[in-house]
Amino acid sequence: MSVVHTDFGPGDLATAADPYGRLREERAKGPVLRSQNAWIVLGRIEAETVLRSPAARSGFIGELYRDLLPPGAARDEMAARLNFLDPPDHGRVRALVAKAFTPRRISELRPFIESTCRRLLDPLAERESVNLLAEFAHEVPALTISELLGVPPRDRARLTELSEEVAGLLSPGGLNPEGLERAVDAAEQMHAYLRGLIEQRRRQPSDDLISALLAAREGDTTLSEAEMLSLCATLYSAGHRTTRDLFTNGLTALLPEPRLIERILDGSLPAAHVTEEFLRFETPTHYAARMLAEPLDVGGTTIPPGEPIMLALAAANRDADVYSEADRFDPDRWATDPAPPPPLSFVFGLHFCLGASLARLELEVMLHTLLDRFPMVQMLDSPQRLRWHHSGLFRRLEELRVRPRP
């Protein structure tokens, strides 16, 4: 099969008024394209082929950060991120984390999440306008990941601010020199705090994830100090930002559909189906990067080793060859038998998102609690007037203004 070339690149998403429309245009050219600097994979089946392949690697991203960033906490964190590790280091670290980050530990967070949701929503009842992103969607996952890691309440807001600054490093092309300097400085502050918290847990273990990570062993193997710091910082960042954006991005499709809200409330539409459609329809992370260690046939195109691959997750999640009426928000698609393939928002294979089950739990509880408390909640801005921030990699709302009507 001949290779189809394109001038499309990740930066085009940051400037597109409609990134999904831009991705649809590229997908129409074919599921696998060749740009000047990388392979672009836009098809759902083709993206999963790469993600499932034992030849797929992401360690080159860590190497890029080693070259980009000055010595210090930011470089240590980004170079050692779990999703940027290749075998055998990835398997070793992931196995140790799995001993601590268990399904039981996640399920035990449900009462905390439920009470946190109620506590945040109750004071909003008398308000005519609420920024649901800042006052609810941001707070719930930020407080939950703090609770999970054992961060004292007095420090949670500050650590969340620092993690937001550091997250800018994931889209380094979008950072100006001042932004890069702030992110590097925030990483130093965050690691200094986490280093102190880790040392405190070494002396006095508690019933939190940091203590469990410190205790995790596979034979004589434990997590190194650098791995612990990178893991805790990564969990803190991804543990609140991604869930916040999944929830608010998804609400922009749900809230204009009162009939769907009625069905969620009467139980005929499971919240799990709604959150799965959030993941498919409005995923906040629009692509992932890989490189191959050996040639791989991807949809009839052979991608050679050693060349960057952009896996356009947002395009794969709206692949019309896989999802009927792919550009329509339709939670009922997950009730069909057989159901369509799951969204790739948490990727797939070796690097499947460690916090996927926690994110799903938070999304379902947040959705149920919001609609139980405010069944007539209304979005105050029309979809056309919503303000989005898009770095190319991440897409999120600037705010989500609603009227919380009981």
Element of type H or E holding 41: strand 39-41
Parallel/antiparallel/unpaired status of strands 378-379 and 296-298: unpaired
pLDDT of res. 177: 83
16-30, 160-174, 250-264: the lowest-pLDDT one: 160-174
pLDDT digits (tens, 9 = 90+) for 281-294: 998 899 999 999 99
Report helix, strand and coil shares of the chain as percent, to nearest 5. 55, 10, 35
382-406 per-position pLDDT tens digit: 989 999 998 889 999 999 999 998 8
Q: Where are the domains of the chain?
A: 4-403
Question: Which CATH superfamily groups domain 4-403?
Answer: Cytochrome P450 (1.10.630.10)
Is the pLDDT higher at 274 or at 164? Answer: 274
Q: Which is nearest to 278 in space by CA: 198, 199, 334, 203?
A: 334
What 8-state DSSP symbol labels residue 268? S
How many helices (H) and strands (E) would you count in the chain? 18, 13
Query: What token pair was written down for 95?
Result: 């196995």
Q: What is the pLDDT of residue 232?
A: 93
Bridge partner list, 395: 390
pLDDT over 90, % of the chain? 83
Q: Using CA of residue 368, residue 404, residue 242, residue 73, what is the dihedral sign? A: negative
pLDDT of residue 171: 75
The answer for residues whose C-beta is within 8 angstroms of residue 137's C-beta and 6 or more apart is 244, 247, 248, 366, 400
Banded pLDDT at 45 (limits 50, 70, 90): very high
User: Position 372: which residue type?
Assistant: D
Dihedral over alpha carbons 127, 402, 235, 58 (to 10 degrees): -170
The answer to whether 40 and 310 are in contact (CB under 8 A) is yes
Cβ atoms of residues 53 and 348 within 8 Å: no
Query: Can you tell me which residue has the tokens 């030849």?
Result: 55
Q: What angle do CA 85, 89, 95 make, to 5 degrees?
A: 105
Q: 């670290």: which residue's tokens? A: 93
Model confidence pLDDT, tens digit, residues 179-213: 889 999 999 999 999 999 999 999 999 999 999 99
d(CA 307, CA 1): 19
pLDDT the model gives residue 216: 96
- Asked whether the predicted pLDDT for residue 172 surpasses 70, the reply is no
Residue 238's pLDDT is: 82
Question: What is the reported pLDDT for 1?
Answer: 63
Provide the pLDDT confidence category of residue 247 given band limits of 50, 70 and 90.
very high
Backbone angles phi, psi at 395, to 5 degrees: -130, 125
| pLDDT-based confidence at residue 68 (cuts at 50, 70, 90) | confident
**Rounded-to-integer distance, Cα 97 and Cα 228, Å:** 10
Quote the radius of gyration of the chain (alpha carbons, Å).
21
* Model confidence pLDDT, tens digit, residues 120-170: 999 999 899 999 999 999 999 999 999 999 999 999 999 989 998 888 888
Instruction: For residues 151 and 147, give the distance between their C-alpha atoms in angstroms, rounded to a whole number.
Output: 6
Tell me how far apart the alpha carbons of residues 292 and 277 are, in angstroms, rounded to a whole number: 30
Q: Name which of 240, 11, 12, 201 is nearest 113 in CA terms.
A: 240
